[in-house]
Amino acid sequence: MNLIIDVGNSFVKLAVFQEDEIIFQSSVVENAFEKEFKNFLKKFSKVDKCIISSVGNLDEEALKLIKHSLKVVVLNAETKLPFKNLYATPKTLGVDRLALVSAAVQQFPKKDVLVIDAGTCVTYDFISAENKYLGGAISPGIQMRYSALNNLTAKLPLLKKEMPKNIIGNSTDSSIHSGVVFGVLNEIDGVLGSYKKKYPHLTVILTGGDANFLSKQLKNSIFANSNFLLQGLNFILQHNSNE
């Protein structure tokens, strides 16, 4: 069994894989992680390998506890990956993007794949049919756009995301919803259109916290998968375990 630990900016996610199948998931705030991890070890004594992916900050004591208990791979730019990384600045490439590309390699081998992660940011990551990671793009996510309109203007309110009923907003609130949500949707559709001109057999994956919110509104054919990052981390762990 493999343990996946994904450290975000607000929460730490834990997932247990039996080969390629997720059999357990939980999410805790960072300061509750050590207690959760100790309880986890009692419940899943057969777990022996672990991978840690961190875009946030995991406490040093927590890291020592994990390394003392399990064989650990800490995902970084030096980790062996199941694809050729052609990114010009590999040390600046987020570990979450490495995991997403790895999942694409595992689930869609020998295909041109674009992975879209709709979270805090919207990231685009492309892996070619020749198993070469070429890069992608980063743009502001939905909540970041709402926050920017509020923070960088004097009078625009901070709103929670809401699917607009009409492209034409007839109030300040509905205009903001239209601008933010349709802006993201049209951006994604436009990016997909540009990629498909060059890669006509493109496979598209949509994941991240806003994937379900957006997926039904997109014009292009996509696969929505909320566990894609966890699956990619598990595949990286398997890849390193087999070395």
Query: Got the DSSP string for 82-100?
Result: SSEE--SSGGGS-HHHHHH
Q: Residue 241 falls within a domain, yes or no?
A: no
Does 97 count as an annotated binding residue? yes
Residues 54, 169, single domain; the answer is: no
Residues 106, 41, single domain; the answer is: no
Structural domains in the chain (count): 2
pLDDT digit string, tens, across residues 187-243:
999 999 999 999 999 999 999 999 999 998 987 778 999 899 999 999 999 999 875
The boundaries of the domain holding residue 20 are 2-74
Residues 227, 125, single domain; the answer is: yes
Residues 135, 36, single domain; the answer is: no
Report the CATH number at residue 114. Answer: 3.30.420.40
Q: Residue 200 falls within a domain, yes or no?
A: yes
Average pLDDT value for the chain: 93
Does 12 count as an annotated binding residue? yes
pLDDT digit string, tens, across residues 40-94:
888 898 898 999 998 767 778 888 888 888 999 999 999 999 999 999 999 999 9
Of 74, 96, 129, which one is at a domain's C-terminal end?
Answer: 74
Does 115 count as an annotated binding residue? no
Instruction: Compute the chain's Rg from CA coordinates.
Output: 19
**Which residue in the list 96, 112, 125, 210 is annotated as catalytic?**
96
Residue 139 structure tokens: 């743009």
Does 89 count as an annotated binding residue? no
Residues 70, 149, single domain; the answer is: no
Supply the pLDDT for residue 76: 92
Residues 109, 219, single domain; the answer is: yes
Q: Interior CA angle at 204 toward 119 and 159, to 5°? A: 25
Among this protein's residues, is 96 annotated catalytic? Answer: yes
Looking at residues 153-174, what average pLDDT do you find? 97
